């Protein structure tokens, strides 16, 4: 289906790329504005991919004429002064961390139905009221449940941490998905300030609802869905899934509830009429991905010492037992496709074939199967922003405007390709070209059949609506497929039907500064709290890391003391820990072959204890609570915080310094470290922490 996807939320002054999905470059597509605010003069040209830029606040409905019919898309445009900070709407000072239209062409996200939008809360934020206080972006979570003969979508808004507004003063706007509303009896839909109620008897085969909170700014939208359980339904990608088999890995179900169950614990129910329905939330990460230990393998180096293996994949496979014993659950392999001379593999010359120096596609699949046999999942490193300049299409296009591939790439006025950071071996794709989109989406389909998820390279440089289409395609085959974005700095809007998990780039850079002594250690708490401050919803997942293939090793830059503490940080702060190959052994070279025979036993044992602790203590896992605690220490390199779950509560102390630090905590904190099972008391009877301590709290 060529429908352009989920409805969108934007601000006046922002640009949004609109494109048909599942494009056929041989066909004709035409966009037009069906309805708009009275003073708008917006119109489109004749291109199949267009740029939407609201010129007046209000609700727009645009139409796409495609080979399979005419499709409507609703776009809610807020006044520019409500644009979240850094997104560049009118009244804002420009975009931070984005790279122009190519990198931020779909600025917001999900919702739409003509006639069902508009302010519905008790506050005035949705109407562009004057801001109050020092607040910012609110957050919202949309729950769905069955109550008697009705399905209820309930929005739970949360103010920005620095807002003067209360939750009750926030507005919430609900919009139905355009792809579903053609079959909805809108007169049967009831919208209040916090709920959407739909009779089970009035449900179409599938109904998606989107909600956004509005205060000083508007939030990242959240979404939930309901569908009839006894019918074949299409997932977001338009591919049919038999709902009778859609359980467990077959369909995302977390987040729904029946009338008799607690919200978020059950996903099927039936109205009084006996009609079975299934509910679910659409922006939660796969359950399996939230409590994992992730491990990055630099494929041309991790097992480079193996001189007996016939292929690199065979050598990697022989190291799987080591990784399993370490406690690794998920492997991220750097790119495995045909590439130019660069060993990192990100300069791709063939998006459909495995690199000859690594092995064959069969060898790659055998490696993935071997990982699966050990209970591990594998992430494929997906590159959609660019190709290598050595790619045959670019070679044909360079300096040749008559080439059939010339329009595949962005070009500068001097005839050189568009790129970032003056990278000389890559060329940016032009994602407004339907042939480019088809080419890349076909590659997505091919590799999604093998992998369990994608680590998405340079996600910030690819239009957001394209990521939303990628998500729909892969989730239609496997709703538990993981999407992890590399975005520097991270972008809260990318959690809106794009990615399940995000690189916590803020925490990464903070821990580098703390490790070097340029910041006090309590800055790591500020970094964690910044997630909510920039608008990430509470259900967003984050990958925590201190090393990767692009950066100097942490131990080299920051030293041993900080390295032990930083290891503790990524396993005890909220998020999913990631190790870069050799990090646990004290590897000093960024991309050198691993020095397996020179592993540091003390550091390796430290990581083993941390992995075990996170697996054993619910408080350290995805659902565990996080809060600050009162503490005193004789060093600014020390920080303490609380993790808790149910009746469990622990105070974690991290010391990034080179010497043991004296720490004073509350009287309810026990001095015995869960990590080492040792008493953390010095000869003076004071609590002393060398690098990491996890202390029970009564």
Return the pLDDT at 228: 86
In the predicted structure, residue 133 carries a pLDDT above the cut 90? no
Region 562-579: mean pLDDT is 98
Contacts of 165 by beta carbon, 8 Å cutoff, 6+ apart: 123, 125, 132, 133, 135, 138, 159, 215, 216
Return the pLDDT at 69: 96
In the predicted structure, residue 100 carries a pLDDT above the cut 60? no
In the predicted structure, residue 97 carries a pLDDT above the cut 70? no
The residues spanned by each domain of the chain are 1-109, 133-284, 293-382+433-620, 625-696
Region of residue 237 (left: phi > 0; alpha: psi -120 to 50; beta: else):
alpha
The CATH T-level fold of domain 293-382+433-620 is TIM Barrel (3.20.20)
* DSSP at 251: S
Q: How confident is the model at residue 238 (pLDDT cuts 50, 70, 90)?
A: very low
DSSP per-residue letters across 588-600: --SSSPP-GGG--
Return the pLDDT at 269: 57
Q: In the beta sheet, which residues pair with residue 133?
A: 163
Phi, psi angle pair for 58, to nearest 5°: 140, -165
355-392 pLDDT, tens digit each = 999 999 999 999 999 999 999 999 999 999 999 999 99
Q: How confident is the model at residue 268 (pLDDT cuts 50, 70, 90)?
A: low
State the average pLDDT for the chain.
Answer: 89
- Angle at CA of residue 514, ends 494 and 689, nearest 5°: 120
Q: Which CATH architecture has domain 1-109?
A: Sandwich (2.60)
Region 4-13: mean pLDDT is 96
- The strand ranges marked E within 36-170 are 50-52, 58-66, 69-78, 139-147, 150-158
Cα distance between residue 547 and residue 544, in whole Å? 10
Return the pLDDT at 271: 52
Cα distance between residue 30 and residue 49, in whole Å? 9
Poorest-confidence range of 131-145, 148-162, 526-540, 571-585?
Answer: 131-145
The DSSP element (H or E) to which 456 belongs, if any, is strand 453-457
Tokens of 546: 């201190």
Return the pLDDT at 85: 86
- Residue in the structure block whose two tokens are 């060898």: 363
Tokens of 475: 């989730």
Region 39-48: mean pLDDT is 97
In the predicted structure, residue 520 carries a pLDDT above the cut 50? yes
Q: What is the 3-state secondary structure (H, E, C) of 522-560?
A: CHHHHHHHHHHHCCCCCCCEEEECCCCCCCCCHHHHHCH
Return the pLDDT at 270: 53
Residues noted as catalytic? 457, 486
In the predicted structure, residue 126 carries a pLDDT above the cut 70? no
CA dihedral 213, 217, 219, 220 (to 10 degrees): 150
453-492 pLDDT, tens digit each = 999 999 999 999 999 999 999 999 999 999 999 999 999 9
Q: What is the 3-state secondary structure (H, E, C) of 622-682?
A: CCCEEEECCCEECCCCEEEEEEEECCEEEEEEEECCCCCEEEECCCCECCEECCCCEECEC
Sign of CA dihedral 430, 434, 435, 436: positive
* DSSP at 137: -
631-666 pLDDT, tens digit each = 999 999 999 999 999 999 999 999 999 999 999 999
In the predicted structure, residue 260 carries a pLDDT above the cut 70? no
Region 502-530: mean pLDDT is 98
Mapped onto helix, strand or coil, the DSSP state of residue 197 is strand
Cα distance between residue 443 and residue 154, in whole Å? 38
Task: Decide yes or no: CATH 2.60.40 for domain 625-696.
Answer: yes
Mapped onto helix, strand or coil, the DSSP state of residue 611 is helix
Q: How confident is the model at residue 584 (pLDDT cuts 50, 70, 90)?
A: very high
Mapped onto helix, strand or coil, the DSSP state of residue 364 is helix
Return the pLDDT at 182: 83
Return the pLDDT at 552: 97
How many alpha carbons lie under 13 Å from residue 459 in its C-beta half-sphere?
30
- Note whether 293-382+433-620 and 625-696 share their fold: no
Contacts of 401 by beta carbon, 8 Å cutoff, 6+ apart: none
Contacts of 320 by beta carbon, 8 Å cutoff, 6+ apart: 370, 371, 374, 376
- Among residues of the chain, what percentage have pLDDT more than 90? 84
Return the pLDDT at 276: 85
In the predicted structure, residue 692 carries a pLDDT above the cut 60? yes
Q: How confident is the model at residue 266 (pLDDT cuts 50, 70, 90)?
A: very low
Return the pLDDT at 229: 75
Region 232-250: mean pLDDT is 35
Return the pLDDT at 458: 96
Return the pLDDT at 109: 26
In the predicted structure, residue 214 carries a pLDDT above the cut 80? yes
């Amino acid at each position: 289906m060529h429908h352009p996807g989920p409805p969108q939320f934007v601000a006046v002054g922002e640009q949004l790329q609109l494109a048909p999905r599942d494009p056929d470059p041989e066909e004709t597509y035409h966009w037009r504005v069906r309805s708009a605010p009275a003073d708008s003069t917006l119109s489109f040209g004749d291109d199949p991919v267009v740029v939407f830029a609201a010129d007046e606040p209000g609700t727009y409905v645009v139409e796409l004429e495609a080979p399979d019919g005419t499709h409507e898309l609703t776009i809610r445009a807020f006044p520019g002064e409500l644009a979240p900070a850094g997104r560049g709407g009118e009244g804002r000072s420009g975009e931070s961390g984005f790279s122009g239209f190519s990198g931020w062409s779909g600025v917001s996200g999900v919702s739409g139905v003509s006639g069902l939008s508009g302010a519905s809360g008790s506050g005035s934020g949705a109407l562009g009221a004057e801001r109050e206080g020092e607040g910012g972006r609110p957050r919202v979570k949309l729950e769905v449940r069955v109550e008697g003969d009705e399905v209820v979508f309930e929005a739970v808004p949360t103010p920005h941490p620095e807002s003067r507004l209360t939750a009750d003063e926030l507005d919430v706007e609900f919009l139905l998905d355009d792809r579903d509303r053609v079959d909805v009896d809108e007169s049967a839909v009831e919208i209040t300030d916090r709920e959407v109620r739909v009779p089970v008897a009035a449900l179409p085969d599938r109904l998606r609802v989107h909600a956004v909170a509005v205060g000083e700014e508007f939030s990242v939208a959240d979404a939930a869905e309901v569908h009839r359980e006894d019918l074949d339904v299409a997932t977001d990608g338009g591919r049919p899934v038999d709902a009778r088999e859609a359980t467990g890995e077959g369909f995302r179900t977390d987040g729904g509830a029946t009338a008799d169950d607690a919200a978020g614990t059950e996903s099927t129910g039936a109205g009084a009429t006996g009609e079975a329905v299934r509910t679910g939330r659409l922006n939660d990460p796969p359950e399996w991905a939230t409590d994992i230990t992730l491990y990055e393998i630099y494929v041309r180096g991790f097992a480079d010492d193996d001189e007996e293996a016939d292929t690199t994949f065979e050598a990697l496979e022989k190291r799987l037992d080591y990784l399993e014993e370490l406690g690794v659950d998920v492997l991220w392999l750097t790119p495995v496709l045909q590439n130019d001379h660069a060993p990192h593999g990100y300069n791709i010359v063939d998006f459909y074939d495995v690199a000859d120096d690594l092995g064959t596609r069969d060898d790659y699949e055998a490696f993935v199967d071997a990982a699966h046999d050990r209970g591990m999942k594998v992430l494929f490193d997906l590159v959609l922003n660019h190709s290598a300049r050595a790619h045959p299409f670019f070679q044909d296009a360079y300096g040749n405007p008559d080439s059939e591939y010339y329009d595949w790439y962005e070009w500068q006025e001097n005839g050189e390709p568009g790129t970032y950071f003056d990278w000389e071996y890559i060329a940016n794709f032009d994602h407004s070209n339907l042939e480019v989109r088809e080419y890349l989406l076909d590659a997505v389909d091919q590799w999604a059949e093998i992998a369990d998820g994608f680590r998405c390279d340079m996600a910030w440089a690819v239009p957001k609506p394209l990521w939303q289409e990628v998500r729909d395609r892969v989730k239609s085959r496997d709703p538990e497929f993981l999407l992890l974005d590399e975005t520097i700095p991270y972008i809260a809007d990318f959690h809106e039907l794009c990615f399940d998990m995000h690189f916590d780039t803020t925490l990464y850079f903070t821990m580098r500064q703390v490790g070097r002594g340029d910041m006090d250690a309590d800055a790591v708490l500020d970094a964690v709290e910044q997630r909510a401050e920039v608008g990430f919803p509470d259900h967003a997942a984050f990958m925590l890391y201190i090393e990767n293939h692009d950066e100097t090793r942490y131990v080299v830059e920051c030293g041993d003391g900080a390295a032990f503490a930083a290891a503790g940080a990524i396993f005890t702060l909220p998020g999913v820990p990631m190790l870069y190959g050799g990090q646990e052994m004290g590897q000093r070279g960024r991309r050198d072959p691993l020095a397996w025979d020179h592993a540091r036993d003390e550091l390796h044992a430290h990581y083993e204890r941390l992995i075990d602790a996170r697996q054993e203590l619910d408080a350290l896992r995805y659902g565990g609570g996080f809060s600050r605690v009162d503490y005193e220490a004789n060093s600014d390199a020390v920080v303490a915080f609380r993790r808790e779950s149910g009746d469990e509560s622990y105070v974690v102390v991290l010391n990034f310094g080179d010497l043991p630090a004296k720490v004073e905590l509350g009287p309810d904190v026990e001095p015995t470290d869960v990590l080492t099972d040792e008493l953390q008391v010095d000869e003076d009877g004071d609590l002393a922490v060398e690098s990491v301590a996890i202390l029970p709290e009564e």
